[in-house]
Structure 1
Amino acid sequence: MSIAKPWIASYPPETAPSLEYPRVPLTHFLEEAAAEFPERHALYFMGKRLTYRELLTMSYQFANALIKRGVKKGDRVAIMLPNCPQAVISYYGALFAGATVVMTNPLYTERELIHQLHDSGAETIIALDLLYKRVTSVKHSTPLKRLIITSIGDFLPLLKSWIYPFVQRRQGQNPQVVYGGEVEAFLSVLKESAAKPVVPDVDPENDLALLQYTGGTTGVAKGVMLTHKNLIANAIQCRAVLYKCERGKERILGVLPLFHVYGMTTVMNQGISIAAELVLVPKFNVKEILSLIDKTKPTLFPGAPTMYIGLINHPDLGRYDLKSIEACVSGSAPLPVEVQNRFEELTGGKLVEGYGLTEASPVTHSNPVWGKRVNGSIGLPWPDTDCRVVDPATGEALPQGEIGELAVKGPQVMRGYWNRPEETAAVLQDGWLLTGDMAYMDEQGYFYIVDRKKDMIIAGGFNIYPREVEEVLFEHPAIQEAAVIGVPDPYRGETVKAYVVFKPGQQIGDSELDEHCRKRLAAYKIPRFYEVREELPKTMVGKVLRRQLQEEEKARHHREEQEKTS
């Protein structure tokens, strides 16, 4: 069946609907940037800068170190680091060695860590000294054989690196790392290794560059198999959409964690592919980010709505210059229109909403950064990305304007889930990836996410999409953040509960919220309950964890039922 692609007519003339993808390993981007811009700064970290030549040299050294320690093609190497130079060096070093990278969230509990390391079969891990105790405690329950430990202080400017151990001790963070045997120091491993170039024996189309774990917000985390080609393709698609970016001249604010595929693609892979300088930020702190933007003048700032919300609501905002920012693509959660407009006023740059999922490396859609954007839409499919909306029950393609499950197809779509053929078959059909998101397409090819299939609330037979209710709550000037879930209701089956975070100094009652919603929503969609929170539970990239709110609600409901019967 031929699929009409109305979105191509909506593309800016500068973005081609189909692109060329070189058959090269992902490491090619770094070698190319270092050859063309050897003295250009590649990384900025807390005042320390590394050039592209230094980054490539260290990546070669790390690759040689891994090979010497027995890492072979296809072996999995886990990296458990925040945004810091070691994360980038380890990533490219492992890829040069022919290994498959397993990015590991530093916030993982022991249970989550055991699952990921056991499932992936990783025998080597590069971790922060602050995580040493946690990693060693799970070692005997996993295939881990070798630990390479680093400290934030390893890549600080000289004075800061001297002071860092004292700061650690003052904060009660004095990790007792026992080196020797299977535990080695990152800097020692690097320094003792040859800097000779390593040519990875890689088939870009079939060999895995990455096992990226996903599903933590919906169940047991699954390893998404992403090839070198998948990641190369998504970086090149990103370049085509950000067509005004100039090679060797951009500076990217790396606030999104690199251990999440969104940050990995939009900050690191895309950034290095255009020889940009990556400003690495290990932890998101609003005041520090404002100061960093003012000081380092980044031109690109990929982020999540919560980051932009935090910046525009900070009381000291007026003291900082944000005018260097030219483009931002927001992902991981819906972008409220008010946030978009205010951020653009402050920076003079463009902030647009995009969409993706780990299984697609991750980006599949965004609004044109410098073309026609549609508020409330995730925008147009990226070049070479096919999309359709299908009936969730039959899999049949639905006509334009009808709501169904979004399916995508393109060079960035995963090979499947690691060692999970049944789960792969459930979401990957004839190359089409079923996203689990309910969506529709308008006549110009712009797509709109209505909500997660799993998050849909069915109240008295009516389908209610939490995102729609959240958007309405966001429109109230007192509300900074909102999340909506379905809670049990004896009469309707489920009903709507809203969690709200007020802006500093603002506070309103349920009746005013009710009145606000009543003007904008059908009666059956209006929240029956409101709960005020100081903050909402979120993932590292700012996606609200509705599942955690649902679990809290279930636990509360269970306690109440027990109290009634006791």
Structure 2
Amino acid sequence: MTAPSGSPYATRPWLGRLSPAQAAPVSPPASVPDAFRAAAARAPGRTALAYFDGRITYAEADALSDSLAGYLAGRGVGRGDRVAVMLQNTPHFVLAVLGAWKAGAVVVPVNPMYKAGEAGHVLRDSGAVALVCEGGPWGEYLWEAAAGSAVHTVLTARPTDLQTRNDPRVFPAHAPAEPAPGAPGQVPAEPAFGAPGQVPAQPASRTPGQVPAEPVSPDPDGDLAPAGSRCAEPSPTRPSTVPASIAGGAPQDPGLHPGPRAQGLRPRPPVPPAAGPDADRAPAPRAPVGPAVDRAPASDAPVGPGAGRAPASLGAGPGVGAVDLVRVARQGHPAPGDPRLAAADIALISYTSGTSGTPKGAMNPHGAITYNATRQVTGHPVPEGAGYFALAPLFHITGLVCELAACFVNAGTLVLTHRFHPGAVLDAFLEHRPAYAIGPATAFTALAAHPDATRDHFASFRVLSSGGAPLPPALVERLRADFGFYLRNGYGLTECTAPCASVPAHLEAPVDPATGTLSVGVPGAQTLVRILDEHGAELPLGEAGEIAVRGPQVVPGYWGLPDATAAAFPDGELRTGDVGFMDADGWLYVVDRKKDMINTSGFKVWPREVEDVLYTHPAVREAAVVGVPDPYRGETVKAYVSLCPGASAGPAELAAYCADRLAAYKYPRQVEILPVLPQTTSGKILRRELRDRG
């Protein structure tokens, strides 16, 4: 149903806040791989993926993901099958999801922080037939977690591949004895695939179509992976799609601009002219230096941890072992036929973060992803080819839509740093000079608290946005005062494929004077947001109730859960479970989750209101408020906080600070200070864990 006649929401009061570009209709690509192919056709030599000092162009990423798709198809993975991808922000993640989609499969992103029970639930519930993960976790526990699932194919990734820097802050097990490759003034001895400054070797003589034996490097994780080469020789059954530039890099991409403080970072040299019959081939692998290095097997026999020791019950095919993803990608497997994915086809089964119980798999269609990704591009002043920094995890819907998919729609460069480390992220800002990033408030808090952070680190950004967790107004103003940028708020859920409301690029979000809540923005032109009471009836503008969303980004339901789908999506409208209100100008405000409301002596207290007050205290870094049992009041308000580095404040001081600014029933009677508050990897503070602790 749409909004009833006479409804204040039917007139979409937010349309007046949108820019002409935001209000205009869009024609998104039918699928994410269609968006990627269009970018590869427009800019084949542009850097698609930047990973520390490694670079992969669009043409290279297209060829590598084609090979992965061909390998998966050869293993029986086809249209509608599920492929679980359990990786951090690395090129392997991007290549894996592209390969799965090109094979016609549905991607199941899995949080790499999941333990055996959590991962096992997702694998079994989704019916995944293939798994892509790091080699260490596969050998340690994932092979057991997959027992009883349908998984019959496993590809493992080594996060130190596809770059040579091995930043010890991100990869502590690989801390070099000497300055890391890429440090100012140092020339890497062995650049990895796409590393800056790589000089092509003379092609080795070989039988046409032969796949050369590739040197591999042992990894402390126990995985084996090829090192030193850029791309494999093409398969004899498939013409080479690897561009000549793969042999020697490409010119510095105009979409990424070296920053003024990035001295010592070597630019990529010009592409040497292609010549001779082997001009379209990858260079021969360099000979290993130092002690003897094992060779990769010439066949697709399983290698690495888990090979030969997976339980017999695993899957329906042959015994499952782990095959290295990079080696498979370089082998040039023939790409399968185009699955002709349509907008309605499911691209992802995205499991909710589990902050409120057992994760459910939301079915995100390709069209919902490309719609929101296209809206991100048309609504933001980010030029084509610019850098998109992957601050949010790609396995989270925000990262996959607003970073990966939007980057493809804009033919941009996706900058990856494996996992979040504030110092490494700040260095990457200077090196790559990205124009766009989105992440939770906790990430921006950590970046701002880093002792080396300066305004210059953020100077290249055209848009910085926060999503996935509430954004305190005090943090927005602190970041503006200290670092000179305005952090834009946004609101979305897995079930609406990331954003359904955001702050237009030409405006700033208002703060509600009555509650002190920062608006999350306004809905889009084709999105309808309503506020409902507990019976599903509309509430007037300005009154708080449950937020309901309808639009092209809303998913059709949950995987295998018809009853949960019917409850959450009556007539296709998403009932979010979030409490909020809309003002007369169409600005949306999120108050809190319905389940988090505290009832103290019959009064309602929304934790978000108390948290926003705590965030205005100069010593508070993080804050979370929960209700705990109280024999007199029923529940009482308890606050958990972590403090800024070097700051000091006691529980009594913080309680008194809130008592001066809140009604007597709202201020926290109990305050506990912790070193850090528990969070999901997407930056949401886990109130559930704190409530259990309290």
Give TM class, smaller chain.
Answer: over 0.9
Cα 1:144/1:327, change in 2 over 3 Å:
same
Q: What SS does the corresponding residue of 2:547 show, helix, strand or coil?
A: strand
User: 1:388 and 1:289, CA in 2 relative to 1: closer, same or farther beyond 3 A?
Assistant: same
Query: Please, which of 299, 319, 322 is the counterpart of residue 435 of structure 2?
Result: 299
1:498-538 per-residue CA deviation (whole Å, 9 max, x = no partner) reads 00111112112233222221221110001010000110000
Give the CA deviation at 1:383: 2.8
**Superposition pairs of residues 113-152 of structure 1, within 5 angstroms:** 113-132=119-138, 133-152=140-159
Q: Summarize the Cα distance change of 1:383–1:131 in structure 2 as closer, same or farther, 3 Å threshold.
A: farther
Partner of 2:568: 427
Distance 1:7 1:17, change over 3 A: farther
Give 5+ residue unaligned stretches, structure 2. Answer: 178-218, 224-303, 309-318, 512-517
- Sort the Cα spacing of 1:153 and 1:518 in 2 relative to 1 into closer, same or farther, 3 A: closer
- The yes-or-no answer on 1:98 pairing with 2:80 is no
Q: Does 1:54 align with 2:46?
A: no
Amino acid at match of 1:177: P
Give the whole-Å Cα distance in 1 for the aligned partners of 2:593 and 2:167: 45
Of the three residues 517, 533, 537, the one matched with 1:391 is 533
Shift of 1:193: 3.4
State how far apart, in whole Å, the 2-side matches of 1:495 and 1:487 are: 6
1:189 equivalent to 2:331? Answer no
Letter in 1 for 2:17: S
Q: Does 1:352 align with 2:491?
A: no
Q: SS at the partner of 1:255?
A: coil
Where 1:256 maps in the other structure, the secondary structure is: coil
Quick check: 1:222–1:417 contact (8 Å CA) kept in 2?
Answer: yes
Aligned amino acid, residue 232 of structure 1: T
Q: Which residue of 1 aligns with 2:342?
A: 203
**1:378 to 2:520 alignment:** yes
Q: 2:469 matched to 1:333? A: yes
| Aligned mate of 1:9, from 4, 16, 26 | 16
Residue in structure 2 matching 1:220, options 335, 358, 361:
358
Cα distance, 1:340–1:127 mapped onto 2, change above 3 Å: same
Q: Which residue of 1 aligns with 2:118?
A: 112
Question: In the alignment, is residue 552 of structure 1 matched against residue 693 of structure 2?
Answer: yes
Q: Does residue 462 in structure 1 map to residue 603 in structure 2?
A: yes
1:20-39 → structure 2 map (5 Å cutoff)? 20-22=27-29, 24-39=30-45
> SS of the counterpart of 1:252?
strand
Which of 174-183 and 97-106 deviates more?
Answer: 174-183
2:417–2:424 contact (8 Å) kept in structure 1:
no
Is 1:177 aligned to residue 305 of structure 2?
yes
Structure richer in strand, relative to its length: 1
Q: Give the helix-richer structure, 1 or 2.
A: 1
Structure 1 residues 158 and 406: alpha-carbon distance in aligned structure 2, compared to 1, 3 A threshold: closer
- For residues 393-443 of structure 1, what are the alpha-carbon distances to aligned partners after superposition, in whole Å with 9 as ceiling and x for unaligned? x10011000110000000000110011000001110112100000000001
CA distance in 2, matches of 1:302, 1:219: 26
Which residue does the alignment assign to 1:247? 384
**Structure 1 match to 2:398:** 262
Structure of greater Rg? 2
1:183-219 residue CA offsets vs partner (Å, 9 max, x unmatched): 21212322333354741232322x2111000151111
Contact 2:129-2:150 at 8 Å conserved across structures: yes
Q: Which residue does 1:562 correspond to in 2?
A: none
Pairwise CA distance, 1:313: 1.8
Q: What is the CA-CA distance between 1:159 and the residue it aligns to? A: 9.2
Q: Tell which deviates more after alignment, 516-525 or 413-422.
A: 516-525
Q: Deviations over 1:363-410 (max 9, x none)?
A: 111111222422400110123110000002x10011000110000000
* Letter matched to residue 123 of structure 2: L
CA contact (8 A) 1:388 1:406 kept: yes
| Compared CA separation, residues 104 and 518, structure 1 to 2 (3 A) | same
> Does 1:84 find its partner at 2:221?
no
Other structure's SS at 2:20 match: coil
Distance 2:455 2:551 in 1: 44
Task: Give 2:639's match in structure 1, choosing from 495, 498, 509.
Answer: 498
- In the TM superposition, residue 488 of structure 1 has moved relative to its aligned partner by 0.4
Q: State the match for 1:564 in structure 2.
A: none
- Distance in structure 1 (CA, Å) of the matches to 2:166 and 2:631: 64
Does structure 2 conserve the Cα–Cα contact (< 8 Å) formed by 1:326 and 1:347?
no
Match 2:675 to one of 527, 531, 534? 534
In structure 2, do the counterparts of structure 1 residues 479 and 456 end up closer, same or farther at CA, with 3 Å as the change threshold? same
- 1:409, 1:431 within 8 Å by CA — same for their partners in 2? yes
- Whether the 8 Å contact between 2:509 and 2:520 is mirrored in structure 1 is no
CA distance in 1, matches of 2:166, 2:446: 31
Distance 2:87 2:650 in 1: 43
Q: Deviations over 1:277-333 (max 9, x none)?
A: 111121111111111112211111111101111111222224953311221110111
Q: What is the CA-CA distance between 1:46 and the residue it aligns to?
A: 1.6
Gaps of 5+ in 1: 554-566
CA distance in 1, matches of 2:411, 2:483: 23
Mean Cα displacement is larger for which, 360-369 or 417-426?
360-369
> In the alignment, is the contact (CA less than 8 A) between 1:48 and 1:157 conserved in 2?
yes
Query: Paired residue for 1:560?
Result: none
CA contact (8 A) 1:323 1:346 kept: no
Give the CA deviation at 1:56: 1.1
Q: Deviations over 1:231-276 (max 9, x none)?
A: 111111222321x11112x111112110111110111001111011
CA separation in 2, counterparts of 1:299 and 1:388? 33
- 1: CA distance, partners of 2:503 / 2:451: 30
Measured in 1, the distance between the counterparts of 2:598 and 2:577 equals 15
Given residue 384 of structure 2, which amino acid in structure 1 is its aligned partner?
R
Describe the shift of the 1:160–1:515 C-alpha distance in structure 2 as closer, same or farther (beyond 3 A). closer
Secondary structure at the aligned position of 1:451 is classed as strand
Distance in 2 (alpha carbons) for counterparts of 1:134 and 1:273: 37
Equivalent-residue separation in structure 1 for 2:486 and 2:399 (angstroms): 19
TM-score, with length taken from structure 2: 0.76
| Secondary structure, counterpart of 2:622 in structure 1 | strand
CA RMSD of aligned residues (A): 2.2
Residue pair 1:153, 1:160 contacting (<8 A) in 2 also: no
Contact 2:489-2:502 within 8 A present in 1 as well: yes
- Alpha-carbon distance in structure 2 between the residues aligned to 1:506 and 1:525: 25
Is the alpha carbon distance of 1:165 and 1:509 closer, same or farther for their aligned partners in structure 2, counting shifts above 3 Å? closer
Whether contact under 8 Å (2:68, 2:329) holds in the other structure is yes
1:174: how far off? 4.1
Determine the C-alpha separation between the residues in 2 that align with 1:89 and 1:503.
Answer: 38
Aligned to 2:583: 442
- Structure 2 distance, partners of 1:293, 1:380, is 29
The whole-number CA distance in structure 2 between the counterparts of 1:446 and 1:406 is 13
